[in-house]
Amino acid sequence: MKNALIKFFSEASVSLQYRNMQFYCVGAVISLLGSMMQESMIAWVVYEMAGSTAVLGNIMAAYMLPMIAASIPGGWLSDRFDRKRIVLVTQFIALLIALSYMLMTWTGSLNVTLVYVLSAALGVNVAFEMSARMAMLPQLVGKPEHIGNAFALDSLIFYSTRLLGPGMGAFFLALTGPVGGFAANAVSYVLELWVISQLKPAPAFKDEKKATLRDAFVFAYGDRRRRQVMLLLAMITFFGVYIQLMPAFTAARAGDAWANSFLIFASEIGAVFASMIIANKTADSSFVGVLRNGIGWMGILFAVCLALFAITPNMLTSLLLMVPTGFAMSAVFSGSQAILQVEVDDRIRGAFTAMFYNFSYFGMLALCGPLLGHIASQIGLAATTCGAAAICLVGSAYYLVQDYRKAD
């Protein structure tokens, strides 16, 4: 058993044999912990200010709509300029935004309007940072066959920090108030800036013929199988909003800030397990093909668990349901990313990454977040979520039917 576990984790972390990846992962953990902590604190503070699911959805839109608008320019930039330098600049801007939250909260001047403004600024910044960061990732590993594992490991870090970040946010809210949490996030950006400065990425792919945005679009949507993966993830993300509405789910169960954090914590436990399994399996690049079918089944699991969570008033049952819900959502996201990133040409990786994240993941959250928030305020949170889950169920089943037809 011990040897099996050692083998499992060594395969899941195969890309950590490279020094660059070691530094990258340390920095990502530090920075994302602070970001996730800040995100959960903002949601809680705003819900206390407004007491409205619609406002929570609007805050999400204020962050993500500018991100969508800036994503394509961000991807274009990262395919033409030094990706490490772009990450450093954007991390410094994120530090300034974190300091703004800290100072405004400390002086009592923070309000919903200012949160909209800061969220929009952060959204634009993240669009440029994310494209450059993800495009740089393959430059940190020495072998092409380890690219899929590097992206799976990045997903594992993302979900692991989402596991701990909200709990840390609740800790600071309880002991120091949001000022202490925002200050801690600012410190995390300082540490991340130092770590990124230590990276030595391999030279990016050079070609006299610069790739165009059209090249990236054709890669993502011109091939039928890739297009279906992108659309499946977009649908699950669009209709599967639940983390951003967690304060409302918590209030419906008469919970407090700690209960809110525990629900998110349970979801991220499932997400971490899914990311860990995919990281382990992508150590063998041949497994990527199996994921095409697997993400469809994970979509069905997600839909069923989300609907059950929506109609369950009991807090303990809700906590238990959050584990497979988070597992399935993470499996669809991490699996889709592994499938597509191992195939993309490095010269269009920045633009493709912008399309992947913003048109199939974060962008869908921005579009559906306000929609579900407003619908929930009219017909109820449970009814809205069950309807969205039903669409995810039908869409995932359709994806599987199409995938099996292609296999035949």
> pLDDT tens, 20-32?
888 888 888 888 8
Residue ranges of domains in the chain: 14-201+212-407
For the chain, the straight-line distance linking the first and the last C-alpha, in angstroms and rounded, comes to: 38
Instruction: Report CA torsion sign: 172, 175, 178, 180.
Output: negative
Task: Among 9-18, 54-63, 382-391, 398-407, name the most confident range.
Answer: 382-391
65 pLDDT more than 70: yes
pLDDT band at 10 (very low <50, low <70, confident <90, very high): low
CATH number of 14-201+212-407: 1.20.1250.20
Task: Among 170-174, 191-195, 289-293, 301-305, name the most confident range.
Answer: 301-305
pLDDT band at 369 (very low <50, low <70, confident <90, very high): low
Question: What is the model's pTM?
Answer: 0.71
Dig out the tokens for 68 from the structure: 């969508």
pLDDT (average), residues 185-199: 88
pLDDT (average), residues 167-185: 79
pLDDT (average), residues 387-405: 85
Higher pLDDT, 283 or 253: 253
Higher pLDDT, 54 or 140: 140
pLDDT (average), residues 140-147: 73
Other Cβ atoms less than 10 A from the Cβ of 161: the count is 23
211 pLDDT more than 80: no
Burial (0-12, 13-18, 19+ Cβ within 10 Å), 286 = exposed
Q: According to the model, what pLDDT value does residue 5 have?
A: 46
Q: Are 245 and 372 in contact (CB under 8 A)?
A: yes
Q: If you compute the radius of gyration of the chain from its CA atoms, what whole number of angstroms results?
A: 20
Euclidean distance between CA atoms 360 and 236, whole angstroms: 9
Measured CA distances, 356 to 181, 256, 389 (Å): 31, 35, 22
Task: Among 55-59, 254-258, 314-318, 364-368, name the most confident range.
Answer: 314-318
Dihedral (Cα; 401, 227, 229, 82), 10-degree rounding: 170
Largest CA distance in the chain: 65
Q: According to the model, what pLDDT value does residue 89 have?
A: 93
Q: According to the model, what pLDDT value does residue 9 have?
A: 54
Percent of the chain residues topping a pLDDT of 70: 84
Q: According to the model, what pLDDT value does residue 259 have?
A: 82
Instruction: Report CA torsion sign: 76, 82, 83, 89.
Output: negative
Euclidean distance between CA atoms 94 and 133, whole angstroms: 14
Q: According to the model, what pLDDT value does residue 284 have?
A: 59
Q: How many residues does the chain have?
A: 408
Task: Among 56-60, 220-224, 227-231, 300-304, name the most confident range.
Answer: 300-304
Higher pLDDT, 28 or 54: 28
DSSP string, 322-386: HHHHHHHHHHHHHHHHHHHHTTS-GGGHHHHHHHHHHHHTHHHHHHHHHHHHHHHHHH-HHHHHH
263 pLDDT more than 70: yes
Q: According to the model, what pLDDT value does residue 208 have?
A: 46
pLDDT band at 209 (very low <50, low <70, confident <90, very high): low
Question: Lowest mean pLDDT: which of 4-18, 29-43, 125-139, 330-344?
Answer: 4-18
Burial (0-12, 13-18, 19+ Cβ within 10 Å), 408 = exposed
Q: Are 352 and 296 in contact (CB under 8 A)?
A: no
Long-range contacts of 335-338 (CB under 8 A, 24+ apart): 335/278, 335/291, 335/294, 335/295, 335/298, 336/229, 336/230, 336/232, 336/233, 336/291, 336/295, 336/360, 337/151, 337/152, 337/155, 338/148, 338/151, 338/152, 338/278, 338/282, 338/288, 338/291
Euclidean distance between CA atoms 191 and 119, whole angstroms: 22
Higher pLDDT, 352 or 53: 352
The angle at the Cα of 263, spanning 27 to 179, to the nearest 5 degrees, equals 55
Euclidean distance between CA atoms 407 and 289, whole angstroms: 11
162 pLDDT more than 90: no
pLDDT band at 135 (very low <50, low <70, confident <90, very high): confident
